[in-house]
Chains A and B, each alone.
Chain A
Amino acid sequence: MSPFRTVPLGIAAVTLVATLWLAGTASTSAPVHAEANGSPALLTDPQVVGMRRLTEAQYRNSIADIFGSDIRVAGRFEPIVRPAHQLIASGARSSAITPSGLEQFDAMAREIARQVFDEEHRAQFTACVPADPAGADASCAGRTLAPLGRLLFRRPLSEQELALYVRIAGEGAGPTRSFAKGLELALGAMLVSPLFLYVVETAQPDPVRPGVMRLDDNSRAARLSFMLWNSAPNAALLDAAAAGRLTDQPQLAATVRRMVASPRFEQGLRAFFSDMLLFEKFDELAKDPVIYPYFNQDVLQALPEQMLRTITTQLLDGDGDYRELFTTRKTWMNRALGALYRVPVSQSQGWVPYEFTAESDRSGLLGLAGFLAMYSHSGRSSPTLRGRAIRELLLCQPVPNPPGNVNFTAVQDTGNKAMPTARIRLDAHTTDPVCAGCHKITDPIGLPLERFDGIGGFRTFENEAAIDVSGEMDDTRFTGGDGLGKAIAASKDATLCVTSRALEYATGRPSEDGELIERLEGGFAAQGYRLRQLIETIASLPQTYEVPTESIKAGTTLVATRR
């Protein structure tokens, strides 16, 4: 195996073990089993208090921001497992990388490094002219790799670290007779390092509150950048960290204010809602093409995008009320979705703004095909899945899983003329008291959406029987999607839920502090439920950067709810 093959992986393994060793109990996983036969002390100070693995989007955004959007990132990303009833942002804190996953990262790292130092791009990133283009030049390599390392590791490289990568560059330049190839090898090693693949959070004692640890400036820069822009911190933010401005409360608040006012905040908001609404499930969404001929790849790709456009239009473009996400009729449409919704779309390509009619019964996110198709079966709608999703995702009210021995025959028999509608079939199914308990929680808020079939197409009849769309939520009775949307918009659970999710997204752990969430929700309400303001508040909050004294119990559901 050539040095190009072994060096980066070896460095990655050594660094990963060293980092995990230093992280102590902050990480519960041991991703790579390799002997630390080199010096483990790549991180000595300050104290590592947590590690969060980059998501695929964060990895891609980081590469695009650091090296340019013309650098292609091709490869398979090992998914981060979502803990039950939590965000992927929380799962990232305990996400391992398997050996095969590391090989994928290694392949991607090599390809990225090759592009960065190819003839077309190398001038942008090489800080100096090497003394000999066909050999090693430690000085020039150091001047080139130091700024790149700072952006990739989200902090300045230590002297030890820089010396390591300069050495790799030198060892690569020798056999290849190419200074650029040496840099390519060193960059590949950086890109496969856990210090890049994981956001390593470090802490320092809080000078104001003795005994309390808080994230240091560099970790705050990374947290802010990934929370608000879903990408690595840029040089300006790292400069602010170096100057100590992110641990100074007024300067932190000013920085946050600028970041949420930036157009790049949309990228961060999209990432937050993709996490909160479980958009990873779109990767697995499939429908029976005979039953739903309008469901195809174009529609599948458009479903999450329509939801995100609806969200950003409501919450950013108009700085609108979060609650109106459940009542707005304004959305976006493209040709593929137009046929599903049976509405005209003037442009052959791209998206056009669209407003549903009052007769459509489509209110906000719950009236969009993305939600309706996601929470249906492959060949039929499901009031239970929809009701459960509303409870869990939008109201943060976990619903227990069904027991393993349930008889689903009645609900699956959609062609039974004696039980023509889902409501009738569910009534038959829930005669079993074991089932009835949970279905009472889910079905009354899922049945009002029965005018929408398994892909979100409108209908008024099922098996030639008129569909009853009456529903109930927390003693409030209503009809149809419109009534459901209004009920959710009026529910304090919905605003408490998004508040707790935003806090969890920021810190990477579900918050146990119900009082803090109530207080944040109160401020959210006072600001007219403007989510931009809520996230700004959370990002400026000292508690967001506090290091908890006790590690979170794995598997515990910690979400704010009034129950």
Chain B
Amino acid sequence: MDRGKTGLGLMCGGAAIGVAALMALTGSLSMEAPARAEAPPRALPAPPPGGVMGFVVQDFVPPVIQGMDACPKGTSPKVRDIYLASLPADERARLERKENEPELTKRWQATVFGADGTNICSQPDKFDRPLLATVQSADAGGLDLDGDAPGESCSHEEFTAPDGRTGIDNQEYRVMGCTLEWRGKDGIGGDLLTGMRQFHASGEWTQVILLRGVDSLENDDDVEVIYANTPDRPQLDSHGNFLPGYSFTISDKPPRHRNALHGHIVGGVLVTDAQDIKLAQTWGQGGARDIRGARTAYDFRHAKLRLAFQPDGSLRGLVGGYRPVFDVIQSPAIGGAGAALAAGIDCAGTLATLRKYADGIRDPKTGACSGVSSAMNLYAVPAFINDVPAPSARIAPAGTAHAGNKTL
């Protein structure tokens, strides 16, 4: 973008409308595998008049690489299996007999609870649980988060991305990548893709991306990127894919989660400068006092977007950043004992493992890290994005936001 340009497209009632290059999108409507970070762009469309492009995010899922390399022993054991593994072989064999199932259930479920009504998901700090099995392969999707700020990271091993990029930081994947919830039972991981897409189709998590000042989809050193939530619900086709071409308005209600980023395009790939990003995360439908509608947030620190323009007009790539370790178990922690009893999730063990592998959000005094590097695969289809400027009163007072966070 030329610095002198406004970068605004069509003005309508004080709002900028992002006009996407709406191409023939038949191909993009098919189900996409989430694992591939991005395809090399070919025959990219011309930049739109006014340089404004809009997108709605359809897929926002962990970049799980399927196959036996990552988890040669299979998925991480559940609470029941952890309990059984802690027993002598004879006792384990006895309890595994069908007639002893009630006794086994009673005993393993007892391990979920502690004194004073605590449980391993609501109060994971109160329990000392075995660590999770971690990803063993050297491959992972993600971004090099510490390349430009290594002093803020803690010691860790790095991955190589499927497209050959090295120095990939994704300790969240290292810890969570062998869990059943991430990897899936059948080695496909489709449940997670479907589930997350449903969340994003609900209008509660729905994310949009607005680009301004795009002079070329191949190379442009100055692009304004708005990555935000919208209350508007996407429309779906009969396969559950988001239909391109709908209009969305960026949320104007607090917490607004409108992240204003700066990016540049190189070789058809848009990369933003590191900056904190916050996005809405609502667990289920319900009121604020109902755990089914608990409002939380995706809190990516020192985060970046890496998005490749696709010939069909869509965007495919990643968002990556450091997440506070507790955020990773936010959902089962809200679920409490039920998450452990029904889904067998060992929140305490997971939290302990995340802490062990924490590589970010480093305390400058102690040198300890309290966050894990993280990444989500992202696929977005063209849309019209209506950016409602925030009232100045909504700008957070100086010193209350994280360093570099431009979220309004």
Interface set of A (CB-CB < 8 Å, partner B): 289-290, 293-294, 296, 335, 338-339, 342-348, 352
Mask: chain B, 9-25; 1 = CB below 8 Å from A; 0 = not: 01011010111001000
User: Could you tell me the distance between the alpha carbons of A290 and B238 in the complex, rounded to whole angstroms?
Assistant: 7
Q: Of the candidates B17, B19, B235, B246, which one forms a contact with A346 in the assembled complex, judged by CB atoms under 8 Å apart?
A: B17
Measured between beta carbons, the chain A residues less than 8 angstroms from B235 are: 294, 296, 339
User: Could you tell me the distance between the alpha carbons of A289 and B238 in the complex, rounded to whole angstroms?
Assistant: 7
Measured between beta carbons, the chain B residues less than 8 angstroms from A345 are: 247, 384
CB distance from A194 to the nearest CB of B (A): 46
Q: A290-B238, A296-B235 are in contact. Are A342 and B247 (CB under 8 A)?
A: no
CB under 8 Å from chain A, chain B span 210-238: 231-232, 235, 237-238
Measured between beta carbons, the chain A residues less than 8 angstroms from B384 are: 338, 343-345
Contact check, A346 vs B238: say whether CB atoms are below 8 A apart.
no
15 contacts between A and B (CB under 8 A): A290-B238, A335-B246, A335-B247, A338-B246, A338-B247, A339-B235, A339-B246, A339-B247, A342-B22, A344-B247, A346-B12, A346-B247, A346-B386, A348-B249, A352-B12
Q: A293-B243, A339-B245, A339-B246 are in contact. Are A344 and B232 (CB under 8 A)?
A: no
CB distance from B228 to the nearest CB of A (A): 15
Measured between beta carbons, the chain B residues less than 8 angstroms from A294 are: 235, 243, 245
CB distance from A299 to the nearest CB of B (A): 10
User: Which of chain B's residues has its CB closest to A333's CB?
Assistant: B247
Measured between beta carbons, the chain A residues less than 8 angstroms from B232 are: 335, 348
CB distance from A329 to the nearest CB of B (A): 16
- Give the bracket for the number of chain B residues in contact with chain A: 20 to 34
CB distance from A455 to the nearest CB of B (A): 13
Q: Of the candidates B17, B231, B237, B243, which one forms a contact with A344 in the assembled complex, judged by CB atoms under 8 Å apart?
A: B17
Task: Select the residue from B17, B18, B19, B246 with max chain A CB neighbours within 10 A.
Answer: B246
User: Which of chain B's residues has its CB closest to A345's CB?
Assistant: B247
User: Which of chain A's residues has its CB closest to B244's CB?
Assistant: A339
The B interface is mostly helix, strand or loop, or mixed, namely loop
Nearest 6 Cβ contacts at the A-B interface: A344-B384, A293-B237, A344-B17, A346-B12, A339-B246, A345-B247
User: Which of chain B's residues has its CB closest to A354's CB?
Assistant: B12
Measured between beta carbons, the chain B residues less than 8 angstroms from A348 are: 231-232, 249
User: Which of chain B's residues has its CB closest to A298's CB?
Assistant: B235
CB distance from B61 to the nearest CB of A (A): 23
User: Which of chain A's residues has its CB closest to B52's CB?
Assistant: A344
Measured between beta carbons, the chain A residues less than 8 angstroms from B238 are: 289-290, 293
User: Could you tell me the distance between the alpha carbons of A17 and B172 in the complex, rounded to whole angstroms?
Assistant: 82
Contact check, B12 vs A344: say whether CB atoms are below 8 A apart.
yes
CB distance from A286 to the nearest CB of B (A): 14
CB distance from B100 to the nearest CB of A (A): 52
CB distance from A459 to the nearest CB of B (A): 10
CB distance from B145 to the nearest CB of A (A): 35
Measured between beta carbons, the chain A residues less than 8 angstroms from B19 are: 344
Measured between beta carbons, the chain B residues less than 8 angstroms from A293 are: 237-238, 243
Mask: chain B, 294-331; 1 = CB below 8 Å from A; 0 = not: 00000000000000000000000000000000000000
CB distance from B16 to the nearest CB of A (A): 10
Extra contacts besides A339-B246, A344-B12, A348-B249 (17): CB < 8 Å: A289-B237, A289-B238, A293-B243, A294-B235, A294-B243, A296-B235, A338-B245, A338-B246, A339-B245, A344-B386, A345-B247, A345-B384, A346-B249, A346-B386, A348-B231, A348-B232, A352-B12
User: Could you tell me the distance between the alpha carbons of A338 and B19 in the complex, rounded to whole angstroms?
Assistant: 12
User: Could you tell me the distance between the alpha carbons of A348 and B250 in the complex, rounded to whole angstroms?
Assistant: 10
User: Could you tell me the distance between the alpha carbons of A230 and B218 in the complex, rounded to whole angstroms?
Assistant: 59
User: Could you tell me the distance between the alpha carbons of A289 and B29 in the complex, rounded to whole angstroms?
Assistant: 14
CB distance from A342 to the nearest CB of B (A): 5
Contact check, B245 vs A342: say whether CB atoms are below 8 A apart.
yes
